[in-house]
């Protein structure tokens, strides 16, 4: 298709005024990915700590461009006040959800959310428009509450779950 000088001028003017928003296809692509992790281990067969939600990946400029993620969901530590099950009794530990963003060369950012016998909303921005996040690792660890008597065994963690950036068209 041949561009006329007027069309070229109009495109340049729109790009100057609105930037990438004037051309959404050039602005980038987004993809959503569900995540979940728990504290299941030899020390926690319940599991007491669970996190789950959605990672919204944002990519601008293709594989060589920038990428970051918004993570939203919940971290829960059992027993919850309305939990009918006695399988997860109060054990004197709290749950910590660890959310770590990685570039190709290493960890870029880590965020921690804490819950003790409650549901806690998780809303995190991992990386920014200058980042190149390629994966996020989600893990739930449990730690003894301060001043618990008798003294409880040290902290433990469930298996770390890795979420790679999905292919974005």
State the CATH number of the domain containing residue 64.
2.60.40
Contact 134, 102 (CB under 8 A): yes
- pLDDT confidence bin for 27, thresholds 50/70/90: low
* pLDDT attached to residue 21: 40
Contact 144, 152 (CB under 8 A): yes
Structural domain includes residue 11: no
In which domain, by residue range, is 132 found? 28-164
pLDDT digits (tens, 9 = 90+) for 119-160: 999 999 999 889 999 999 999 999 999 877 777 778 999 999
CA distance 167 to 134: 11
Structural domain includes residue 157: yes
* pLDDT attached to residue 168: 67
* pLDDT attached to residue 78: 94
Structural domain includes residue 48: yes
Backbone angles phi, psi at 3, to 5 degrees: -90, 135
* pLDDT attached to residue 39: 96
Structural domain includes residue 5: no
Q: Tell me the β-bridge partners of 66.
A: 60
**Contacts of 77 by beta carbon, 8 Å cutoff, 6+ apart:** 48, 49, 94, 95, 115, 116, 117, 118, 120
CA distance 152 to 92: 8
Structural domain includes residue 169: no
* pLDDT attached to residue 136: 98
Number of domains in the chain: 1
Q: Which of 20-24, 32-36, 118-122 comes out lowest in average pLDDT? A: 20-24
Contact 32, 73 (CB under 8 A): no
Structural domain includes residue 18: no
Question: In what helix (H) or strand (E) does residue 108 lie, and over which residues does it extend?
Answer: strand 106-115
Contact 117, 95 (CB under 8 A): no
């Amino acid at each position: 298709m041949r561009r006329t000088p007027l069309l070229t001028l109009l495109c340049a003017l729109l790009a100057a005024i609105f930037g990438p928003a004037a051309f959404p296809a050039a602005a980038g692509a987004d993809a959503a990915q569900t995540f979940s992790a728990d504290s299941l281990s030899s020390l926690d067969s319940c599991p007491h700590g669970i996190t789950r939600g959605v990672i919204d990946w944002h990519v601008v400029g293709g594989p060589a461009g920038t990428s970051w993620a918004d993570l939203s969901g919940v971290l829960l530590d059992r027993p919850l006040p309305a939990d009918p099950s006695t399988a997860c009794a109060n054990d004197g530990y709290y749950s910590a959800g660890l959310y770590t963003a990685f570039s190709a060369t290493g960890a870029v950012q880590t965020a921690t959310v804490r819950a003790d016998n409650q549901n806690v909303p998780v809303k995190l921005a991992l990386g920014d428009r200058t980042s190149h996040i390629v994966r996020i690792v989600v893990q739930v660890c449990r730690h003894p509450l301060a001043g618990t008597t008798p003294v409880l065994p040290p902290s433990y963690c469930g298996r770390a779950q890795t979420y790679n950036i999905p292919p974005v068209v």
